[in-house]
C-alpha cells in the first residue's frame, strides 16, 4: 500500500485500487491531488492488469477544490486546465482499464474524473451535477469532450445552464453509469468487474482502450479500415489463438445469461 497526500494505492490480485482519501473535503481535487493521480496512473507497476478508482467517505468527488481557484489569472487558468487534461489522460490512456466506483456526489470535476474511466459503477446514493454553470466558471478537466460522449451535448448543456441534478436511476438511464447497484456496493461490484477485465487478453484490452474511441471518431470508411488492422493484429497474438483453441476443445466457458 502506498499513501501520498490524499491518495492511496493498494494492489490486490493484480488490481490496483486507487482511492481518494480526502473525505473531510468531499475528495475535492486540489492541485496536489491531481498531480498525485497523474503520477499514480503513469507509474502503475507492470503486473497490474486493471484498476478501480474509488473515493473515501459518502461522496466520490466534489470536483475542483474551489479554495484554490481564487488567485489564478487567465494564463494560470489555462495551465491549470492543461494539468487536469494530463492527469485524466493518464487514466484514460494509461496502461490498464479503470473501473470507477461511484457513490454520493459525482459533481463538477468529479464527473470529469469519472468520465475519464472506462467503466462506471454507481450505487443508489450517487448523484451527478455540473455546478460550474452556477459558479460562473466552465469545465476544465476534459468534460466538454468526454461528458457529451456519455450523455450527449443537449443533456450536458441543460445540466450546466439549469443546474439540473441527475439521481442514480436517472443517471444510469442517461448513460453516466453502466451499472447501478445498492447503497454501499459500488466498490465490490467495480472490483468484481475489474477482475473480469483483468482476465482478458492484454492486447484486447489495449485495443478497446486505444482503438475503439479513435475508430468511433473516424469517418466510416477509415473506421472500417482501422478496425480491420486492429482485428488482424489482436487475433494474431498467441494468447488469442490459445483462447480460441480452448473454446473449440471444450475447455473454455460458453456465453450464458448468468
Residue 2: alpha-carbon gap to chain centroid: 21
**Contact between 64 and ligand 1HE per CB under 6 A:** yes
How far apart CA 18 and CA 116 sit, in angstroms, is 14
Q: Which is nearer to ligand 1HE, 125 or 205 (CB)?
A: 125
Question: Among residues 66, 131, 123, 125, which one has the least CA distance to residue 100?
Answer: 123
Q: Which is nearer to ligand 1HE, 42 or 144 (CB)?
A: 144
Residue 88 in grid coordinates: 485524466
User: With CB under 6 A, what is the number of residues at the site for ligand 1HE?
Assistant: 22
Q: CB of 10: closest distance to ligand 1HE in angstroms? A: 24
**Contact between 131 and ligand 1HE per CB under 6 A:** yes
71 noted as active-site residue? no
Contact 74, 96 (CB under 8 A): no
How far apart CA 192 and CA 157 sit, in angstroms, is 34
Element (H, E) at 155: helix 153-162
> Which DSSP state fits 61?
B
Cβ burial, residue 203 (10 Å; 0-12/13-18/19+): middle
**Contact between 160 and ligand 1HE per CB under 6 A:** no
**Contact between 171 and ligand 1HE per CB under 6 A:** no
**Contact between 66 and ligand 1HE per CB under 6 A:** yes
Helical packing angle, 202-210 and 220-235, nearest 10°: 170
Q: Figure out which of the listed residues 140, 146, 159, 190 binds ligand 1HE, where binding follows CB under 6 A.
A: 140
**Contact between 105 and ligand 1HE per CB under 6 A:** yes
Q: Figure out which of the listed residues 37, 49, 60, 63 binds ligand 1HE, where binding follows CB under 6 A.
A: 63
**Contact between 132 and ligand 1HE per CB under 6 A:** yes
Residue 2 in grid coordinates: 502506498
Q: CB of 41: closest distance to ligand 1HE in angstroms? A: 17
Q: Which residues are catalytic?
A: 112, 132
Q: Which parts of this chain interact with ligand 1HE (CB under 6 A)?
A: 25-26, 28, 59, 62-67, 84, 105, 107-109, 131-132, 135, 137, 139-141
Amino acid at each position: 500500500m502506498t499513501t501520498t497526500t490524499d491518495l492511496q494505492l493498494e494492489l490486490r490480485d493484480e488490481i490496483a485500487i486507487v482511492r481518494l482519501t480526502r473525505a473531510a473535503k468531499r475528495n475535492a481535487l486540489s492541485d496536489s491531488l491531481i498531480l498525485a493521480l497523474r503520477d499514480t496512473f503513469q507509474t502503475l507497476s507492470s503486473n497490474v492488469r486493471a484498476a478501480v478508482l474509488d473515493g473515501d467517505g459518502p461522496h466520490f468527488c466534489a470536483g475542483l477544490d474551489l479554495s484554490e481557484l481564487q488567485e489564478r489569472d487567465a494564463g494560470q487558468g489555462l495551465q491549470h486546465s492543461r494539468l487536469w487534461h494530463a492527469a485524466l489522460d493518464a487514466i484514460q490512456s494509461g496502461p490498464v482499464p479503470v473501473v470507477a466506483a461511484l457513490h454520493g456526489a459525482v459533481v463538477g470535476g468529479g464527473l470529469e474524473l469519472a468520465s475519464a474511466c472506462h467503466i462506471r459503477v454507481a450505487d443508489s446514493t450517487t448523484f451527478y451535477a455540473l455546478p460550474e454553470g452556477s459558479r460562473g466558471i466552465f469545465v476544465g478537466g476534459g468534460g466538454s469532450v468526454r461528458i457529451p460522449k456519455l450523455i450527449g451535448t443537449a443533456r450536458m448543456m441543460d445540466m450546466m445552464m439549469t443546474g439540473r441534478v441527475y439521481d442514480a436511476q436517472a443517471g444510469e438511464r442517461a448513460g453516466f453509469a453502466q451499472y447501478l447497484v445498492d447503497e454501499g456496493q459500488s466498490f465490490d461490484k467495480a472490483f468484481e468487474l475489474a477482475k473480469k477485465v483483468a482476465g482478458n487478453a492484454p492486447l484486447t484490452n489495449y485495443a478497446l482502450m486505444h482503438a475503439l474511441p479513435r475508430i468511433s471518431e473516424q469517418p466510416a470508411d477509415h473506421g472500417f479500415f482501422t478496425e480491420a488492422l486492429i482485428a488482424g493484429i489482436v487475433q494474431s497474438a498467441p494468447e488469442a489463438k490459445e483462447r480460441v483453441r480452448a473454446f473449440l476443445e471444450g475447455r473454455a466457458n460458453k456465453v450464458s445469461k448468468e
